[in-house]
Structure 1
Amino acid sequence: MALIIVFAVLVALLWGAIAFRRFTPVGVAVATVAIGYVLGYEFWHLHLGPLPLTVDRLLLGVLVAALAMFAWQRKLVHWTPLTVDWAIFTLLGWLTVSCVLANVGSDADLPVSPFFRLLFSFWTPTLLYLAVRIAPPSTRTTTYVLAAFAALGTYLAVTACAEITQQWWAVFPKYITDPELGTHFGRARGPALNSVSLGNYLCLCFWATWTLRPRVRRSLQLVLLGCMGLMVLGILFTYTRSVWMGFALSAFVMLIAHTPREYRWPVAIGSSVCGALLLMVAWSFVLYLNREDSGSVSEHSVEQRTSFAYVSWKMWCDEPLAGVGFGRFFDKKLPYLSDRHQSFELESIRNLHHHNTFLGLVVETGLAGLAAYLAMLVGWIWIGYRMTFDESNSPAMRQMGRLLLAVLCVYLPSALFHDLTHIFQDQTFLFLIAGLALAVAEQHSPVAQPATMPNRVGFSSFTTTSHSKTGFHAP
């Protein structure tokens, strides 16, 4: 039955593309992220080789075909990499070299293949990022993309509420109801069977819906506000501290972005004080949070971060520049667990992957890998800031800048408390939104010049070789 549904979805996509001529790389990229998240590995997979075939991987093949078709029809725009793009290419190159050197010929027994993690947490997201950059969307297409994320968020919110209230008849896909699969059963965890990922996706969809709101009729705006209320409930039902922190931080940034310039400092200071007071009052509740485990287990989860930090420091001191090799923290940490020069225990992290994206990267790939990753994130933050707060930018450009900043605010707290390179779905949505924001920014750049390639897709072509107020220029 699942196989029939999968192929029905793909046939519907193909039919829609042929009938309505909307079979664009941007649409396929968004479908890959959204449909791939809902219909994951547990829903359907087929082993045809070393990598199982899943719905999102089928859609990746369709994306490559769509890009090839656009290239053959000369519909791709002229594209010059920005400084942040070179940071991404440097990161990919360094991680690939580190992975190959550390794992080829190795007989280490690892729970997750480093090559699998490299492919789906870095190479695949970069493909999505580039796809929307070289075949950028029109404003109308961007609105459809936001609507797709609004629909996804509504579905995820309903599923989260159904999980918490144990209304299993309303949960789809049905494998979510199996406590033997995945983690975090007892919380809202969604199709990825992970409450962190569900919470991050709900936050993304919440802000995508907020961005969509000014683009629709007033009657639909009321519907969207109701959907956003459901998404907030879903975020709360994940019972995940890092997700709550990301949502609060993104709300703070959105508040500042929507505040007139003359009131920004008072609003920022006032909201920061209120947030600090609220945190002080709720600190014990957050620390001893009762989830699917007890409050003491929740506290121990917080204390384990100290163990990860200590072991990471010792490992980094031994291999500061190149690291122990991409994907090798799991086994290379074992000799360090016998260290007894500290008062806290280390053994509880023996069977765990790293719980901090940045520490994980610096341990595995050294300062070079961490520097490239930070350069990529800082580059996106700077671009989002210029898009948002430069008042000469178009409304569409400022909206996407705010969305990019909100998504980064959602991503960063979770990256501090979890290694998101092991949750590849979260990597894909980050890269996709970044690519969409940069594509919109380059389209609406006030000094963008016509490209030499013919424009056949109904939007303005551009180059990035000129300087502009928005800061988008080739290195």
Structure 2
Amino acid sequence: MSAATAAENRAPVTSGEGHAPDHRTQPYVVLFILGLVANMLSSHSHRLGIPLSPDRILIPLAIVLFLMDKRRARVRWGAVSALMAAFVVWTLVSMIWHGNVLSSSPLFALLDRTVMPFLMFLLGPVIFRDTHSRDLLLKALTVVGLYLGLTAILEQWAPQFVFPQYIVDPNVGIHFGRPRGPFASAEAMAMALAVCAGAALLLKSRNLPRWSVLSLVVSLLCFFGVVLTTTRSVWVGVFAGVIVALVLSPALRRWIPAMAAGAVVGFIGVVLYLPSLWDNILERSTTSGPIFDRLSSNAAALRVLEDLPLTGIGWRRFYPHGSEWARQSDSFPLNNAVIEVHNVILSRAVELGLPAVIVFILIIVLGPVRSALPAPPVAGQLDLAGWRVLSGYVVAVWLVAGMFGPLSPPFPNYSVWLIAGVASFALLHRPVEGSDAHRVARRPGAHRPSDPARLP
């Protein structure tokens, strides 16, 4: 347990506004969390007899209730929000120009890959503005991790017990034969498990009654689930995320020997007692077909950029129209004429052009990446130090996985950007007028250039 965590356990919990402790949970906090959890069923809720995914109702309702709350916290608008708005406007103009602004697939892609992640980042610190609500979010992600971890194991060894059953239907989704969870996608499953593992470990450090043991078990279960998905990009992402977390938190470094020992024991256990899993890992690790597909689609995307560097091919038009730029390489086979670009940055560039991708990169750097950087403590918000470490971990996983995959399912994107937003409390949260924090901020000289409460 870090010194910051120990100090927080001895200190009273406040709202961050100078008010007395308040453990009441606002309805919009609960609805927002329920919407995030329900988002796991996005694109597949109709298979359960639900025509519209519940998150499409719960999250907007939570936002409306939040805006109706007269005592709600305010967002400190600045460069990041302006860049986000500019990127969304650019995308809409691209859709209008190419005539697909009224098509459902591009619209939902804009919502799930751009608008909602941006809103998650901006609303995270003001909806989850106190320690109590942030702990509630960690508990929800831990419970989700428990479900996903158990589902990954059941998919592998007892598929008849998996719920919902569409998960084990070979005609639904992609990556059948690997743990896919309610996303029906092994990549999304691996990303979600990685995020929940980090959230569970942060909850473990909170030393909350009845949650300490469960959160540790869930974290181990989730990491094992990541291995079961045999998703190489997320494997590398988790490794990078752990390194980032160790760099950001000196208190974690004393656990390096235990982590190394656990990894060795886990490796030996898989080789000796789960030979079929080890065979799957070896087979997946040496499979070259997906690599060739990525190389082919990336090469086609680069040809599009050569021809259309300023505007790109248009939002959500590379698949299937990018096939016109596909070529047979002398170095590897062309198995598919074109697939979705398996690189988030390159995907934005080929669809929207180089100016737009520069804005997108700035958003990532000034938003999620910056959220993990150390910042001076905020009164009554000592748990934010742990959130910044968690943000560094999940953002690293997301960035690495995003170099090798499209990251199209919404839940991993939502959760990563939400965690980064919560960790950006000092950057995005504006004190409520009349509060103690607001009076401090109004004092002459309170906003120095190094003040973390100001956006760049």
Shift of 1:85: 2.1
Residue in structure 1 matched with residue 7 of structure 2 by the alignment: none
- In 2: Cα distance, 1:229 partner to 1:474 partner: 37
Residue in structure 1 matched with residue 124 of structure 2 by the alignment: 132
**Structure 2: which amino acid aligns with 1:41?**
S
Residues 44, 54 of structure 1: 8 Å contact kept? no
Answer yes or no: is 1:172 the counterpart of 2:158: no
Residues 195, 394 of structure 2: 8 Å contact kept? yes
Residue in structure 2 matched with residue 384 of structure 1 by the alignment: 371
Answer yes or no: is 1:22 the counterpart of 2:25: yes
Answer yes or no: is 1:33 the counterpart of 2:36: yes
**Structure 2: which amino acid aligns with 1:326?**
W
Residue in structure 2 matched with residue 319 of structure 1 by the alignment: 308
Residue in structure 2 matched with residue 4 of structure 1 by the alignment: none
Superposed CA deviations along residues 117-154 of structure 1, whole A, max 9, x for unmatched, are: 11222223333333334444211111111111111111
**Structure 1: which amino acid aligns with 2:424?**
L
Residue in structure 2 matched with residue 363 of structure 1 by the alignment: 350
Relative distance call for 1:220 and 1:336 in structure 2 (3 A) is closer
Residue in structure 1 matched with residue 226 of structure 2 by the alignment: 235
Answer yes or no: is 1:223 the counterpart of 2:214: yes
Answer yes or no: is 1:301 the counterpart of 2:268: no
Shift of 1:161: 0.6
Shift of 1:378: 0.9
Relative distance call for 1:470 and 1:382 in structure 2 (3 A) is farther
- In 2: Cα distance, 1:382 partner to 1:125 partner: 14
Query: Mean alpha-carbon deviation: is it higher for 199-208 or for 32-41?
Result: 32-41
Residue in structure 2 matched with residue 409 of structure 1 by the alignment: 396
Shift of 1:436: 1.5
% of aligned pairs identical?
23
Residues 128, 431 of structure 1: 8 Å contact kept? yes
Cα RMSD after superposing both structures: 3.5
Structural mapping, 1:323-472, within 5 Å: 323-337=312-326, 339=327, 342-346=330-334, 348-350=335-337, 352-387=339-374, 395-420=382-407, 422-439=408-425, 450-452=431-433, 466-467=447-448, 469=450, 471-472=452-453
- In 2: Cα distance, 1:254 partner to 1:341 partner: 40
Structural mapping, 1:148-163, within 5 Å: 148-163=140-155
Structural mapping, 1:190-229, within 5 Å: 190-217=181-208, 220-229=211-220
Shift of 1:83: 2.2
Query: Mean alpha-carbon deviation: is it higher for 374-383 or for 399-408?
Result: 374-383
- In 2: Cα distance, 1:217 partner to 1:23 partner: 20
Relative distance call for 1:257 and 1:134 in structure 2 (3 A) is closer
Name stretches of at least 5 consecutive residues in structure 1 with no aligned partner.
1-19, 48-52, 283-288
Superposed CA deviations along residues 449-473 of structure 1, whole A, max 9, x for unmatched, are: x542x56xxx966979934646341
Relative distance call for 1:401 and 1:369 in structure 2 (3 A) is same
- In 1: Cα distance, 2:76 partner to 2:371 partner: 19
**Structure 1: which amino acid aligns with 2:393?**
A
- In 1: Cα distance, 2:251 partner to 2:158 partner: 44
Shift of 1:391: 7.8
Shift of 1:105: 8.6
Residue in structure 2 matched with residue 144 of structure 1 by the alignment: 136
- In 2: Cα distance, 1:292 partner to 1:181 partner: 23
- In 2: Cα distance, 1:239 partner to 1:461 partner: 49
Residues 158, 230 of structure 1: 8 Å contact kept? yes
Residues 427, 452 of structure 2: 8 Å contact kept? no
**Structure 2: which amino acid aligns with 1:54?**
S
**Structure 2: which amino acid aligns with 1:116?**
F
Relative distance call for 1:335 and 1:362 in structure 2 (3 A) is same
**Structure 1: which amino acid aligns with 2:246?**
L
Shift of 1:326: 0.9
Structural mapping, 1:65-84, within 5 Å: 65-70=64-69, 74-84=70-80
Aligned counterpart in structure 2 of residue 310 of structure 1, from 295, 299, 306: 299
**Structure 1: which amino acid aligns with 2:36?**
V
Return the TM-score normalized by structure 1.
Answer: 0.77
Return the TM-score normalized by structure 2.
Answer: 0.80
**Structure 1: which amino acid aligns with 2:123?**
A
Shift of 1:301: 0.8
- In 2: Cα distance, 1:244 partner to 1:392 partner: 34
- In 2: Cα distance, 1:178 partner to 1:350 partner: 27
The 3-state SS of whatever aligns with 1:344 is coil
Shift of 1:101: 1.2
Superposed CA deviations along residues 286-328 of structure 1, whole A, max 9, x for unmatched, are: xxx9659965993111122221222111110001111111111
The 3-state SS of whatever aligns with 2:454 is coil
- In 2: Cα distance, 1:296 partner to 1:215 partner: 37
- In 1: Cα distance, 2:296 partner to 2:133 partner: 47
Residue in structure 2 matched with residue 473 of structure 1 by the alignment: 454
Aligned length: 412
Relative distance call for 1:340 and 1:66 in structure 2 (3 A) is same
**Structure 2: which amino acid aligns with 1:186?**
G
**Structure 1: which amino acid aligns with 2:229?**
T
Superposed CA deviations along residues 357-414 of structure 1, whole A, max 9, x for unmatched, are: 11111111111221111111111355234336x6899641211111111110110121
- In 1: Cα distance, 2:146 partner to 2:79 partner: 36
Superposed CA deviations along residues 272-293 of structure 1, whole A, max 9, x for unmatched, are: xx99xx9xxx9xxxxxx96599
